[in-house]
C-alpha cells in the first residue's frame, strides 16, 4: 500500500503517485469549491483543477503540516527535558528573591532557606533514583 494520510477517522491511501508539479506554474494552493457545478477552481489563476488533484494536494499539505507539527512537539519535549534543571533553578531563585516566600521541599513540604546551604551537599543521581524507587516500592530508572 502507498502513502496513507489520516485526518481523524477519514483516511486517504495513495498508490502509484506521479508528481506532475511544474514549479514555474501556479501551485493552486487557494481553491474554491463550486457546489452548483461541482468544480474546483484556483482562486489565484482561475484554472479549473480536478477534484482528484485538489484532494491529492490537500493530502500533501496535511502530511507536511503533520510532519512539521510532530517535529516541533518532539523538539519542545527535548528542550524541556534538557533544560528542566534551569527551569527549577529559576523557580527557586524567584522564590528567594521575593523576600516573603521560600521554596518548599517537594517531599516533606519544609521550607528551604538560602542559609540552609542549598546545593552544598550532593548525592549521585543513580543513588537518589534508587532511594526514591525504594520508597515507592518500584524499580530504579536506568
Are 70 and 108 contained in the same domain?
Answer: no
142 domain-assigned: no
Q: Is the pLDDT score of 24 beyond 60? A: yes
Write b or e for each residue in 89-100: b if 16 or more Cβ atoms lie within 10 A of its Cβ, otherwise e: eeebeebeeeee
Q: According to the model, what pLDDT value does residue 74 have?
A: 93
pLDDT bucket at 70, cuts 50 / 70 / 90 = very high
141 domain-assigned: no
Q: According to the model, what pLDDT value does residue 72 have?
A: 94
Could you give the CA distance from residue 23 to residue 48 in angstroms, rounded to a whole number? 18
Report angle CA 90, 92, 98 to the nearest 5 degrees: 100
User: What is the arithmetic mean of pLDDT over 59-64?
Assistant: 89
Could you give the CA distance from residue 118 to residue 62 in angstroms, rounded to a whole number? 50
13 domain-assigned: yes
Could you give the CA distance from residue 11 to residue 14 in angstroms, rounded to a whole number? 10
User: What is the arithmetic mean of pLDDT over 22-50?
Assistant: 85
Could you give the CA distance from residue 59 to residue 112 in angstroms, rounded to a whole number? 55
Q: Is the pLDDT score of 140 beyond 60? A: no
Are 63 and 108 contained in the same domain?
Answer: no
- What total of structural domains would you count in the chain? 2
Phi, psi of 14 (to 5 degrees): -115, 135
21 contacts: CB under 8 Å, gap ≥ 6: 27
Amino acid at each position: 500500500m502507498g502513502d496513507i494520510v489520516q485526518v481523524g477517522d477519514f483516511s486517504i491511501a495513495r498508490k502509484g503517485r506521479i508528481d506532475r508539479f511544474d514549479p514555474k506554474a501556479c501551485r493552486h494552493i487557494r481553491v474554491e469549491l463550486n457546489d452548483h457545478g461541482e468544480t474546483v477552481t484556483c482562486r489565484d489563476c482561475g484554472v479549473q483543477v480536478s477534484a482528484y488533484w485538489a484532494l491529492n494536494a490537500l493530502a500533501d499539505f496535511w502530511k507536511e503540516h503533520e510532519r512539521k507539527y510532530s517535529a516541533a512537539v518532539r523538539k519542545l519535549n527535548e528542550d524541556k527535558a534538557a533544560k528542566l534543571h534551569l527551569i527549577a533553578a529559576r523557580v527557586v531563585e524567584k522564590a528567594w528573591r521575593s523576600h516573603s516566600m521560600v521554596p518548599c521541599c517537594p517531599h516533606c513540604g519544609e521550607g528551604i532557606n538560602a542559609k540552609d546551604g542549598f546545593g552544598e551537599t550532593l548525592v549521585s543521581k543513580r543513588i537518589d533514583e534508587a532511594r526514591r524507587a525504594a520508597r515507592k516500592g518500584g524499580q530504579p530508572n536506568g
